[in-house]
Amino acid sequence: MMKTPNERLSINAYLVFFLVHTAQIGLGIVGVQRVIFVEARQDAWIAVLLSGLWIHLVVFVICQTLKLSEHDNIFSLHTFVYGRVFGWIANAAVVVYFLMAYTSILLGYVEMALTWMYPDFPLWGGALILVILTVYALYGGGFRLVAGVSFLTFFMAIWVVVVVFQPLKYAEWIHLLPIFEATPKQMMNGVLKTSYTMLGFEVLYIIYPFVKEKERVHRYAQIGVMLTTFLVAAVTVIAIAFFSPKQLDVTIWASLSMFTIVKFSFIERFEYIVIPLWLLVILPNLLMFMWAMTRGGKALFRIKQKYGLFLFACLSFAVAIIFEKRATINEFIDQVGWYGFWLSFVYPFFLYVFVRMKTWAKGSTK
């Protein structure tokens, strides 16, 4: 009211760490082990590390791109580079990606919760609850709320990491040998399959204008990505050591299955605690992607974010109820991973080159 919206809405740079990290960690980490293991066998963890390295590079490129011109988010960059019409199409593609990412998390979590805990509950009911939760959070909350939720849920959920190490008692480290057996092609496929788990850092393209200290964004984003890579690599190594190869081939939610052997004097079946707790892990994901969509909606249709919020919420719910079965949900998540791989792992390099050329061309005409 009294302050400029810019200062009131902006956040401190250290929050970028939490935003990037919580946007990356979500459903993938619960079941990533099998998907990579099928491709890269016991070298799966190397695939995770390779993909982590790649992401560090991508984050560097993204930050460089944003620094190049006065356009500091992906939507205005697209219009700047491709012109109005093609820029609009590119922006629409980005929004569709966020819509898919949001819906995949929605479906994935509801499906997991229903399979493990509530076999009789309808899928659309669970999806509806999550959509309403998102709308409630963002309506009147905006970006500051997204940042707050990722900051707080990070601390509310990170303690689970300590528990992950309990299955190590039963680890057979021999499962990890021999190292470097995977062929380059297998390894590449492994990296590709990691993408869905690691996606989320592309939100940098959208949160960048909201950060006060622009020069420190890059550092914190890199730290966030590093923590994600470390966690994913850790659960992968533990799962490979814990399960026999044949077992891991058929274990869909490997992390959860490892939790089944965790036991305290007052809690048995620890995974029954973890699945509800995971709501807090996917909450920042949901909020972040929905918020990104509303930003996109503003760029695409010039509608207010609060109207965009309802529009995209209805849209994602509609997409979610189309998928009912595990098989179709799996396919959908694979599609999102594939789409996300091209958009987030590969495209930033091209965008950097385009922006570079465009600014150069503009500079020379002056």
Please report how close the Cβ of residue 183 comes to other proteins at its closest, in angstroms.
42
Count the alpha carbons within 13 Å of 268 in the hemisphere toward its beta carbon. 0
In the DSSP assignment, the letter for residue 168 is G
Lookup: tokens for 77: 């960059």
Chosen residue from 212, 269, 325, 362 binding other proteins by CB under 8 A: 269
The answer to whether residue 2 forms part of the interface with other proteins (CB under 8 A) is yes
Nearest alpha carbon to residue 245 among 52, 4, 43: 43
Over the Cα atoms of the chain, what is R_g? 21
The answer to whether residue 141 forms part of the interface with other proteins (CB under 8 A) is yes
Interface mask (CB under 8 A) for other proteins, residues 100-139, using x and -? -------------x---xx--x-------x---x--xx--
The answer to whether residue 265 forms part of the interface with other proteins (CB under 8 A) is yes
Residue (151 or 289) nearer to other proteins, CB: 151
The answer to whether residue 250 forms part of the interface with other proteins (CB under 8 A) is no
Could you tell me if 58 and 201 are in contact, meaning their C-beta atoms sit under 8 angstroms apart?
yes
Amino acid symbol at 144: R
Could you tell me if 319 and 329 are in contact, meaning their C-beta atoms sit under 8 angstroms apart?
no
Nearest alpha carbon to residue 71 among 349, 347, 309, 352: 352
Residue (35 or 113) nearer to other proteins, CB: 113
**The dihedral of CA 126, 127, 132, 137: what is its sign?**
positive
The piece of 42-50, 218-226, 250-258, 261-269 that touches other proteins (CB under 8 A) is 261-269
Residue (112 or 235) nearer to other proteins, CB: 112
- Contact set with other proteins (CB under 8 A): 1-2, 12, 113, 117-118, 121, 129, 133, 136-137, 140-141, 145, 148-149, 151-153, 265-269, 272-273, 275-277, 279-280, 283
